[in-house]
C-alpha cells in the first residue's frame, strides 16, 4: 500500500506525520531535509537554532496545492529529526560567544584573555566538527540517491552540505538570496561565522565556479573589494541597483533574466530569510530595510526552473521567531518558502 493511500491532502496537517503533514517515511521520500539547530556565531539576535522546530510546526498549515509545481509533494518530502545533541552544543557554545562579544564590545582583546582565547579555539573547533557532521549526513543521503535540502540554524550551517555536493557535481553555482554578502574572513574571530559562509565556500569548495548574490544591501569595504577582484567568480546584484533599475522602468522579469543569465546549468540555492523585506521576517538575527516580497523570489525560482537549469540542493536559514513560538510571521513565511523550494527541487 502506498504512503498516500489513506491520506487526504485537503484535511488538517497531522503532526504524527512529517513535514507539511505528509505521510512519507525517509525511504519513501524523494527529498530529505536535514535540520541543523545551530546559532553559535550570530552577531546580533538569537533564535534561529529553533528555526527547524518552528518551521515544522508552521508547515502543518501550508496547503499542498502549488500552482507552479502541481502535486510535487506526492514525490515525498521528509524532515529528519532535530538532533538534540547539536542543539545542546549550540546553546553551550553560544554562551561562550556572548562572553567573547561582550569583552570585545567593551574594548578588550580576546588574545589578552587566556580563558576567552581558549573558548574561541573551542568554538572554532566545534564549527569544524559541525561542518564535518553536515558533510557526512548529506553525502550519505546523496549517495542513496536522495535530493537534499538543509534547514538552519544560522547561515554557517550549509558549508558541509555544499562540500558534499562538490563531491558529486564537477561544477555548479550558488545562488544566494540575502541581505548580507557573507564574505567576511573569520568575522569577529570565528572561522565558521555566519557572516563568513560564502568566503568559506569559495575557499573550500572548488566545484563552486560561480557565486551569484541577490538582494545584498549590508556589506563592508573588504567584501566589496573581494567582489570586484573576483574576476567574475562573484556576481552581485545589489539591492540598490535592482531598485534603481525598477525605478527607471525595468521589469522584475527582465532583472530575473539578468540573474539567470549569470548562472551555469547546475545551481544550488542558499536562501537567507533576511533577503526578504523585514516585515516578513522581523525576528531574524540581523534584519535590514529593503529586500523582496516572497512572491518576487518565487517568480525568480519559477523562471530559473523554466530556463532548464538543474537545482541540485538548497538551504533555508536564519528563520527565527526570537523568543516566541511558531505562531509569528517568521515561521509562517519560512514554512512557505520551504514548501516552494521543496517543490522546485523535485520538479
Residues of the chain with pLDDT > 90, as a percent, come to: 92
Identify whether the C-beta of residue 231 lies closer than 8 Å to the C-beta of residue 276. no
Closest C-alpha to 120, from 196, 61, 40: 40
Q: What cell numbers appear for 34 in the block?
A: 536535514
Domain ranges of the chain: 19-346
Each residue's pLDDT tens digit, 137-153: 999 999 999 999 999 99
Mean pLDDT of the chain: 95
Residue 44 has a pLDDT of 87
pLDDT band at 328 (very low <50, low <70, confident <90, very high): confident
Q: Report the distance separating Cα 23 and Cα 16, nearest Å.
A: 8
Each residue's pLDDT tens digit, 253-269: 999 999 999 999 999 99
Residue 16 has a pLDDT of 84
Q: Is the pLDDT of residue 325 over 70?
A: no
Residues of the chain with pLDDT > 70, as a percent, come to: 98
State the Cα torsion 187-192-197-198 to the nearest 10°: 80
Residue 327 has a pLDDT of 66
Residue 27 has a pLDDT of 97
Identify whether the C-beta of residue 49 lies closer than 8 Å to the C-beta of residue 98. no
Listing from the earlier edge strand, what are the strands of the sheet with 31-36? 77-79, 31-36, 147-152, 310-317, 266-272, 172-177, 208-216, 234-238
Q: Report the distance separating Cα 100 and Cα 105, nearest Å.
A: 9
Q: Report the distance separating Cα 150 and Cα 347, nearest Å.
A: 18
Give me the mean pLDDT over the 43-66 stretch.
94
Residue 130 has a pLDDT of 98
**Percentage helix, strand, coil, to 5, in the chain?**
45, 15, 40
Q: Is the pLDDT of residue 119 over 70?
A: yes
Residue 3 has a pLDDT of 74
Give me the mean pLDDT over the 165-186 stretch.
98
Fold of 19-346: 3.40.800
Q: Is the pLDDT of residue 172 over 60?
A: yes
Give me the mean pLDDT over the 178-196 stretch.
96
Q: Is the pLDDT of residue 1 over 60?
A: no
Residue 171 has a pLDDT of 98
Amino acid at each position: 500500500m502506498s504512503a498516500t493511500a489513506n491520506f487526504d491532502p485537503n484535511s488538517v496537517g497531522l503532526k504524527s506525520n512529517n513535514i507539511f503533514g505528509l505521510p512519507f517515511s525517509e525511504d519513501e521520500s524523494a527529498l530529505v531535509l536535514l535540520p541543523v539547530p545551530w546559532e553559535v556565531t550570530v552577531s546580533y539576535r538569537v533564535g534561529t537554532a529553533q528555526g527547524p522546530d518552528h518551521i515544522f510546526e508552521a508547515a502543518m498549515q501550508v496547503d499542498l496545492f502549488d500552482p507552479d509545481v502541481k502535486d510535487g509533494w506526492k514525490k515525498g518530502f521528509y524532515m529528519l529529526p532535530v538532533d538534540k545533541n547539536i542543539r545542546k552544543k549550540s546553546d553551550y557554545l553560544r554562551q561562550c560567544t556572548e562572553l567573547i562579544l561582550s569583552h570585545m564590545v567593551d574594548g578588550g582583546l580576546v588574545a589578552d584573555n587566556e580563558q576567552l582565547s581558549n573558548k574561541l579555539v573551542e568554538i572554532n573547533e566545534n564549527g569544524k566538527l559541525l561542518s564535518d557532521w553536515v558533510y557526512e549526513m548529506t553525502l550519505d543521503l546523496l549517495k542513496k540517491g536522495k535530493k537534499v535540502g538543509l534547514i538552519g540554524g544560522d547561515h554557517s550551517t550549509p558549508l558541509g552540505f555544499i562540500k558534499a555536493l562538490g563531491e558529486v557535481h564537477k561544477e555548479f553555482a550558488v545562488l544566494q538570496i540575502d541581505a548580507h554578502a557573507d564574505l567576511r574572513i573569520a568575522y569577529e574571530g570565528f572561522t565558521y561565522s555566519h557572516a563568513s559562509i560564502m568566503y568559506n565556500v569559495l575557499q573550500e569548495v572548488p566545484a563552486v565556479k560561480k557565486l551569484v548574490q541577490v538582494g545584498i544591501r549590508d556589506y563592508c569595504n573588504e567584501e566589496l573589494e573581494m567582489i570586484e577582484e573576483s574576476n567574475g567568480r562573484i556576481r552581485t546584484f545589489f539591492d540598490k541597483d535592482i531598485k534603481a533599475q525598477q525605478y527607471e522602468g525595468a521589469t522584475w522579469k527582465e532583472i530575473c533574466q539578468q540573474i539567470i543569465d549569470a548562472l551555469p546549468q547546475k545551481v544550488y540555492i542558499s536562501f537567507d530569510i533576511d533577503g526578504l523585506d523585514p516585515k516578513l521576517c522581523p525576528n531574524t538575527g540581523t534584519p535590514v530595510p529593503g529586500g523582496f516580497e516572497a512572491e518576487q523570489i518565487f517568480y525568480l525560482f519559477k523562471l530559473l526552473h523554466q530556463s532548464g537549469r538543474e537545482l541540485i540542493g538548497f538551504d533555508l536559514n536564519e528563520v527565527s521567531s526570537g523568543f516566541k513560538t511558531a505562531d509569528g510571521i517568521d515561521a509562517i513565511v519560512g514554512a512557505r518558502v520551504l514548501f516552494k523550494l521543496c517543490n522546485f527541487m523535485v520538479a
